[in-house]
Amino acid sequence: MSDEHQVQQVLARYARAVNRRDGAALAMLFDVDGRVDIGWDNAGTLETLITLTGHQEIADAVANKKFPPGARGRALIHGHIIEVNGDRASLEALFEEFVVRPGDEFRPGRSTIEESGEYRSTLRRNDGQWKLVHHQVVLDTDPRRARG
């Protein structure tokens, strides 16, 4: 498997862990001192809102994300751009996270986009395994305004 494909698989596993709210699986995709910065693109300037460092903080963040009763999340990741240079790699991709709400006997279920934006990641290969070192989640809009 090519290096580029291996790096893309890390992000595919990231999406699966987020969809399943599997914090332990998500954390294992990161280097021991891996970091996640979550922010938004404020007219071309990244405004960081949350920083998570290390496996436990990363695991807890995804495992404890709340949805409306009966709803679940679904992350879609696409448009990968991957550059590999030896044991280092950079990855950019687009994402949308949907909230899937169940239907009932009177109305069908529905999906709405909760968040969208870009992932900007750096990875390092250690002992043959690619791990996320720094993962930026750059939201398209300020989530503080979107939620009122």
Higher per-residue confidence, 42 vs 92: 92
pLDDT of residue 148: 47
User: Judging by DSSP bridges, how do beta strands 72-85 and 129-139 pair with one another?
Assistant: unpaired
As a dihedral over the C-alpha atoms of residue 74, residue 134, residue 124, residue 121, rounded to 10 degrees, the angle is 50
Q: What confidence tens digit (pLDDT) does each residue in 103-146 have?
A: 777 778 888 888 999 999 999 999 999 999 999 999 998 777 75
Q: What confidence tens digit (pLDDT) does each residue in 5-62 have?
A: 999 999 999 999 998 889 999 999 999 999 999 999 888 888 999 999 999 999 999 8
What CATH topology corresponds to 3-146? Nuclear Transport Factor 2; Chain: A, (3.10.450)
Query: How does residue 73 score in pLDDT terms, banded at 50, 70 and 90?
Result: confident
How far CA 92 is from CA of 65, 71, 77, in Å, comes to 24, 28, 10
The domain ranges of the chain are 3-146
What is the C-alpha separation between 109 and 104, in angstroms, rounded? 7
CB atoms near residue 104 (< 10 Å): 8
Query: How does residue 100 score in pLDDT terms, banded at 50, 70 and 90?
Result: confident
**Burial group, residue 27, by CB count within 10 angstroms (0-12, 13-18, 19+):** buried
What is the C-alpha separation between 64 and 112, in angstroms, rounded? 20
What is the C-alpha separation between 115 and 137, in angstroms, rounded? 10
Query: How does residue 70 score in pLDDT terms, banded at 50, 70 and 90?
Result: confident
What is the C-alpha separation between 62 and 70, in angstroms, rounded? 17
